[in-house]
Amino acid sequence: MVKIKTGKESRVCQGDIVRDVEYIEYFSEKDGNIEVSKIIFPLSIVLTQDCDLSQDYKFRWSKASTPNEDKWLMSVIVAPIYNLEHVFSGEHLSELEMTMAQISRNKTPGKNLRNNETPRYHFLEFPDRLTLPPSVIDFKHYFSVNVAYLKKHKRNNFVCQVSDLYREDISHRFASYLSRIGLP
What are the angstrom distances between the C-alpha of 67 and each of 58, 64, 75, 155, 156? 14, 10, 21, 29, 33
Q: Where are the domains of the chain?
A: 4-161
The amino acid at residue 28 is S
Q: What is the pLDDT of residue 76?
A: 95
Predicted confidence at residue 10, as pLDDT, reads 82
* HSE-CB for 105 with a 13 A CA cutoff: 10
User: Beta strand pairing status for 158-162 and 16-30?
Assistant: antiparallel
Q: Using DSSP bridges, classify how beta strands 158-162 and 4-5 pair: parallel, antiparallel or unpaired.
A: antiparallel
Closest CA to 76 of 43, 39, 48: 48
Contact 136, 121 (CB under 8 A): yes
Q: Taking each helix axis from N to C terminus, what angle separates 147-157 and 50-61, rounded to the nearest 10 degrees?
A: 100
Q: What is the pLDDT of residue 72?
A: 83
* pLDDT score of 171: 95
Q: Could you tell me the pTM of the whole model?
A: 0.89
pLDDT by residue for the chain (184 residues), tens only, comes to 677 777 777 899 999 999 999 999 899 998 889 999 999 999 999 999 999 999 888 888 776 666 777 788 999 999 999 999 999 988 888 888 888 888 888 888 989 999 999 999 999 999 888 889 999 999 999 999 999 999 999 999 999 999 988 999 999 999 999 998 877 7
